[in-house]
Amino acid sequence: MAETSVPPGLALAPDDPRPPSEQLRHRVQQGRADGTLPAGTRLPPVRRLAEALGLAAGTVAKAYRELEAAGVIETRGRQGSFVRAADLTEDLAVRAARRYAAEITELGLSPQRALELVAAQLGRSG
């Protein structure tokens, strides 16, 4: 069985008086705001995170449901739960980046070359 570790930024503080689900919600929101959990970050599955944090799966599921209702994360079926962008422009940019990454992968180009191509296009004057 694989070792289960808590992703950076999601560890709970034992001395925090808030309930664990509230602490987890706060950690995800804080991570999105400070960039430690950027838009598009895949969160661990509920059961895996619950095991890593020593919580009941229902506690993590509650936090995920509340984060989704608040628009902080989105769940994509069996693909999992992902951090959403804080604003529509960034959300659209993340989606465009995903499409581009999929195309680059399909073409067989390296990530470095893909970034060089984007940088060149962004540097063009209109």
pLDDT at 2 over 60: no
Q: Return the domain boundaries, the chain.
A: 20-83, 88-123
Mean of pLDDT values over 101-109: 94
pLDDT range class, residue 118, cuts 50, 70, 90? very high
Helices 88-107 + 111-123 axis angle, to 10 = 130
- Range 4-28 burial, b when 16+ CB lie within 10 A, else e: eeebeebebeeeeeeebbbbbbebb
Model-level pTM greater than 0.85? no
CATH assignment of 20-83? 1.10.10.10
pLDDT at 62 over 80: yes
CA 73, CA 58: separation in Å to the nearest integer?
A: 17
pLDDT range class, residue 125, cuts 50, 70, 90? low
Return the closest-CA partner of residue 84 out of 43, 24, 27.
Answer: 43
